[in-house]
Amino acid sequence: MAKQRILIQDIADSLQLSRTTVSKALNGSENISEKTRQKILQRAAELNYKQFSSLTSDFNSSASAENNASSNIHGNIALTFHKFPDKQHIGSSLLTTMEQEISKYGYTLSLFTIQDTDIRYLRLPNTFDLNNIDAILCVELFDREYCKMLSSLNKPVLFIDSYYTVAEDNLKADILLMESKYRLANMVKKLIQEHRISRAGFVGSYTHCLSFYERWAGFCMALQDCDLTLDKSACIIDKEDIKYWDQMWLLSQLKLMDPLPELFVCANDSLAINLISCLKDLNIKVPNQVLVTGFDNAPASIVVEPHLTTVNSHSTDMGIIAAKKILDRIQNTALPYTNTYLQTDAIYRESTMRKPFDKKIY
């Protein structure tokens, strides 16, 4: 007997929520709390909800198109994540594009939430059937031992970014990420030289993941090239990532700085936007008093005021390359494993557009 297809209504009924609420969560609507959204995505993964495209794009596909696609299914790729990327995360557009690409070759994506207990006991989710999986895609999964476990399952594995010491372990897996170190170093050097900056700080846990670590390395490289000394008292680099989303904690860290650095380089756009909010609370003007940069070119980077100087990660194109890499690996398992970097581009906006050499306004 054919296995019953899971519908949006099934997810809604199991959580005692309306179908509209579930649909909004799967569509990435911002008119829903993050807590509710994560609960719905977790349940969708637990029920092995197959329509991944509805998690990242519109629900307007016709029934006939779905039927045609289902008749051409050749395989299944498992998407594993510790926290599903929202629309501000580069993973959102990456996954949309990747799902579209692999579907052309008859592959579907199945979602699997990796719980804290799964990581603690190094186990797969209960609904994860390894025999029905052709490859594993890992997003926002940065636990070293868990990544090593996934890489030992004799399945093709592709990590979108990874834990910061991954190069030490020579995993049997491919890694795909954006180039961070040199692009950020060049951007920071340009700002230091144009604005005659003598004190700069970094914001973000540089041990959170490989891309953050490489951005920290790029920041340090820029300081060295400009003959500036790294001053960790001008940085907010606590290892506990969750602290950075506590507004009171971030404010307390800023209040400890006397004086504030002239430039804050943030590990991503979300951190930069949160930092700008805290600086506004302290009546510190960006960019007149402090310059701020982010990374990723998230949608919110052109919504925040002032618009954020950042680095474009080309996440949509990354999805196309991710699809090609994982499909190639399925077909050619004996190929040497690769670490692939996509070129990135700096985008200068209002958050660093104080006129060069102008005296800061206090």
User: Which pLDDT belongs to residue 20?
Assistant: 73
Q: Give residue for tokens 């719905």.
A: 40
Per this entry, what is the length of the chain?
A: 362
User: Which pLDDT belongs to residue 68?
Assistant: 42
Cis-peptide into 356, omega within 30 deg: no
Q: For residue range 8-25, what is the model confidence (pLDDT) as tens digits?
A: 777 877 887 777 777 777
Which amino acid, one-letter code, is at 97? T
What is the rounded distance in angstroms from the CA atom of residue 113 to the CA atom of residue 115? 6
CA 136 to chain centre: 17
pTM > 0.85: no
User: What are the phi and psi torsion angles at 328 (to 5°)?
Assistant: -65, -40
State which H helix or E strand residue 135 sits in: strand 135-139
Which amino acid, one-letter code, is at 74? H
What is the rounded distance in angstroms from the CA atom of residue 99 to the CA atom of residue 316? 11
What domains appear along the chain, each with residue ranges and CATH number?
A: 8-179+315-343 (3.40.50.2300), 181-312+346-352 (3.40.50.2300)
User: Which pLDDT belongs to residue 208?
Assistant: 96
User: Which pLDDT belongs to residue 87?
Assistant: 52
Mean pLDDT for back-to-back runs of 10 residues, the chain (362 residues): 64 77 72 74 73 42 38 79 63 79 90 92 94 95 97 97 96 97 98 97 98 98 98 97 94 96 98 97 97 94 96 90 95 95 97 70 42
User: What are the phi and psi torsion angles at 137 (to 5°)?
Assistant: -110, 130
User: Which pLDDT belongs to residue 73?
Assistant: 57
User: Which pLDDT belongs to residue 6?
Assistant: 73
Per-position DSSP letters for 130-187, written without gaps between them? GGG-SEEEEES---HHHHHHHHTSSS-EEEES--TTGGGT--SSEEEEE--HHHHHHH
